[in-house]
């Protein structure tokens, strides 16, 4: 038989505040991703319609209405980003430029994707 004090349940409370007796649950740390928030802000100021998802290779931008990939921003060691597009034919991310990656700062990369001079992001 279990003790009537504990009620047979474990408490999720980890600590108390300064001895005042108020219990506080331990929270997970919040990790802020400023790049993702800057991409979302750019999207909002330009009419929306594009979502952003972070994965281990960078930031994938996709159409919110159908989920189709638009672009990927792959971080470089110098703080800039390689801009890639989704190839429908090979079904993988490809470089935009004929002679290698197009590497730009974040704001310039977002402007480049929005203007779509090569007509490869929004088809």
The answer to whether residues 17 and 26 touch, using CB atoms and an 8 Å cutoff, is no
Q: What pLDDT, on a 0 to 100 scale, did the predictor assign at position 11?
A: 47
Q: What is the pTM of this model?
A: 0.72
pLDDT score for 21: 55
**10 contacts 3 by C-beta, under 8 angstroms:** no
CA distance 7 to 18: 26
- Contact present, 61 and 39 (Cβ < 8 Å): yes
Instruction: Categorise residue 48: left if φ over 0, alpha if ψ from -120 to 50, beta otherwise.
Output: left
Which among 34, 15, 33 has a CA at the least distance from the CA of 24? 15
Query: Between these two residues, 108 and 13, which has the higher pLDDT value?
Result: 108
Average pLDDT, the chain: 83
Task: Please calculate the CA angle 42-104-102 and round it to the nearest 5 degrees.
Answer: 120
- Is the model more confident about 51 or about 9? 51
The pLDDT-based confidence of 97 (bands split at 50, 70, 90) is confident
């Amino acid at each position: 038989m279990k003790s009537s004090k504990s009620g047979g349940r474990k408490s999720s409370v980890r600590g108390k505040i300064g001895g005042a007796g108020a219990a506080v649950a331990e929270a997970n740390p919040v990790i802020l991703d400023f790049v993702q928030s800057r991409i979302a802000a750019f999207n909002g100021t330009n009419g929306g319609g594009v979502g952003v998802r972070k994965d281990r290779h960078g930031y994938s931008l996709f159409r919110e209405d159908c989920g189709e990939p638009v672009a990927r921003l792959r971080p470089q060691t110098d703080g800039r980003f390689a801009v890639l597009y989704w190839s429908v034919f090979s079904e993988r991310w490809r470089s935009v430029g004929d002679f290698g990656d197009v590497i730009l700062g974040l704001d310039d990369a977002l402007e480049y994707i929005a203007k779509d001079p090569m007509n490869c992001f929004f088809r």
